[in-house]
Structure 1
Amino acid sequence: MQSPGAATGTLVSKFIKDFGPLGIFKQGIVPEVSRATVMRGVKFALYPQIHEKLFDREPKDGTGSTRVAAAALTSIPEVLLIMPLEVSKVLLTTDVTNKYSNSMIKAIRATPLTKQLTGWVGVQYRQMSWGCAYFATIGPWRSVVDKFMGEGEEDNGKKMAKNLLSGFAAGVTGACLNTPGDTIRSVVMKQNLVNGVNTNFLATGRAIIKEKGAGSLYSGFGAKAAHLGGGGALMALLGPICKEALEKRQSGVKEE
């Protein structure tokens, strides 16, 4: 995504040349795993609470509009928490001189506070657009899956399969919306943090479209769709399980 329009194979070959074959699995992996964990943890924990506080009902009883509003608000604290991780990931995955020794902490400490929010607009766009699309469409996608797999009484296996499929479809829907903004965000962060070029989200977006066409904003969409679709599937699978376990625990505490 930092090189819109470039072939995936070419970029992978260059990355392997810079960091070696194992670099794909090691370079910048700590901030990426940390970012994904914090991001999904905050989204999963805060979204239902925000929805219930705002609209006095659970998300399953809400409308598309209420779910979008709650998802949009949830993305704000989510983004603020992951920004240092986003910055360190970009620095580590472009660190061909091993300046940071593949250390997330070292990269964060070496970045001035004024640079810690570099790319914030793009990250906010990415998280908000995906969350809004995901929570707004997972219900309709579940209806489609129900028609495809059949409604009525379900065993645990069938219910899990339906959750996975609807979550995956909603995750890919979110990827369709957030990929262009994430491509621009990635270029903005690389330009500012690595190349020392002061640019912003809108100016960078216009420059990419002018030079390489609007289609280049969807660079890497296949991998991104698979990644976010998988994340959406896991959220749809684990969400109800965790909620049920929590409700049982709370019920047990009340009975005691």
Structure 2
Amino acid sequence: MSDIEKLLKQAAMQIGAGGSAGFIEVCIMHPLDLVKTRLQLQATASVIKSSDPHYYNGVFDCLRKMYKYEGVTSFWKGIVPPILAETPKRAVKFVTFEQYKRFFMFGSSTPTPITFALAGLGAGITEGILVNPFEVVKVTLQSNKALASQVPSTWSVTRQIVRENGLGFKGLNKGLTATIMRNGVFNMVYFGFYHSVKGYVPEYEDPLLEFGRKVAIGFTSGVLGSCVNIPFDVAKSRIQGPQPVPGVVKYRSTTGAIVMVYREEGFRALYKGLVPKVMRLGPGGAIMLVVYDYVYHFLENKFQN
């Protein structure tokens, strides 16, 4: 087998494994992503009356009120854009991670923690550029607090955004820098920690213990990545979501949004949505990496046979 054929074979396995991992993760964890977005979009209690049925005091209060006022299907509002994006997104994430990893070897015969971190950063930046239009549509749908049956379709929201603001940085690519920073920082920590620690923690011969080892490392990687990148996630939600005053753009740039939230709402506001984010990306990170590993090895065995 030539080097090109070998490279294409590996890329095909990475695409299949990455797409499978992304699809399963988003279907299971999407409700928590929605809760995270709702909490990040709302201002402090001093600005919004706590008696408002759409003001949320936490994760479970948000879930309860959404169920009461919007119906159980509201937990999956905005799921179509991430489902459409997840297969190519995760495929791009894992394929580019492997390619960036080769680039950042810096003469070493084996990858180092710096290699994994920089490869993760590069993969996250590439991923962010690809998925940002889907994120704009998703946040628009997630911020709609009408009954799920009354929420416009993904396609109609996309057409409205393009019709009113175009494809550029005011329309379908609004908040691109924030998405790049969010995804880049997350994947830098996520891949850097996972692959570095996995190399130091001995593998188990028992399949169940080995599964637990991968889940534990993946869970920790997702939690750490979530804690580090959340200020960029808050900025992204504020930029891409509905502005406080209709027709007036308050949140324009990533840095400007972070500074404004800090000045007006305090340091803790930069970590709004951290609990549902950790609840989603802790187990979600474990699900994604474990599914990727198992599907990749399954495909590898199939190709060999």
Deviation of 1:206 (Å) = 0.9
CA distance in 1, matches of 2:88, 2:230: 20
CA distance in 2, matches of 1:90, 1:152: 40
Question: Residues 86 and 245 of structure 1: is their aligned pair in 2 closer, same or farther, counting only changes over 3 Å?
Answer: same
Deviation of 1:140 (Å) = 4.6
Residues 1-27 of structure 1: CA deviation (Å, up to 9, x unaligned): 11255622565566456x512243242
- Which of residues 218, 222, 247 is equivalent to 1:167? 218
Aligned AA (1:86) = E
CA distance in 1, matches of 2:210, 2:286: 13
- Which of residues 175, 186, 211 is equivalent to 1:119? 175
- Which of residues 197, 219, 232 is equivalent to 1:181? 232
Task: Answer yes or no: is the 8 Å Cα contact 1:171–1:232 preserved in 2.
Answer: yes
Local SS of the residue matching 2:247: coil
Task: Answer yes or no: is the 8 Å Cα contact 1:168–1:230 preserved in 2.
Answer: yes
CA distance in 1, matches of 2:203, 2:87: 35
Superposed, 1:33-72 pairs within 5 Å as 33-52=83-102, 55=105, 61-72=110-121
Residues 141-165 of structure 1: CA deviation (Å, up to 9, x unaligned): 4478x4xxxx575211111110011
Which ranges of structure 1 fall in alignment gaps of 5 or more residues? none
CA distance in 1, matches of 2:93, 2:254: 24
Deviation of 1:243 (Å) = 2.6
Deviation of 1:32 (Å) = 3.6
TM value normalised by structure 2: 0.70
Which ranges of structure 2 fall in alignment gaps of 5 or more residues? 1-39, 46-56
Residues 170-206 of structure 1: CA deviation (Å, up to 9, x unaligned): 1111001111110111011124699333322211111
| CA root-mean-square deviation | 3.1
CA distance in 1, matches of 2:67, 2:114: 45
Question: Residues 28 and 240 of structure 1: is their aligned pair in 2 closer, same or farther, counting only changes over 3 Å?
Answer: closer
Task: Answer yes or no: is the 8 Å Cα contact 1:94–1:194 preserved in 2.
Answer: no
Task: Answer yes or no: is the 8 Å Cα contact 1:91–1:193 preserved in 2.
Answer: no
Identity rate of aligned residues, in percent? 25
Superposed, 1:6-155 pairs within 5 Å as 7-8=57-58, 11-12=62-63, 15-16=66-67, 20-52=70-102, 55=105, 61-96=110-145, 101-111=151-161, 112-114=166-168, 115-142=171-198, 146=201, 151=202, 153-155=204-206
Residues 12-46 of structure 1: CA deviation (Å, up to 9, x unaligned): 566456x5122432422222433444433321233
1:207 aligns with 2:278: no
TM value normalised by structure 1: 0.82
Aligned AA (1:214) = F
Q: Which runs of 4+ in 1 moved over 6 A?
A: 97-100
Higher helix share: 1
Task: Answer yes or no: is the 8 Å Cα contact 1:31–1:86 preserved in 2.
Answer: yes
Deviation of 1:251 (Å) = 3.0
Aligned AA (2:113) = G
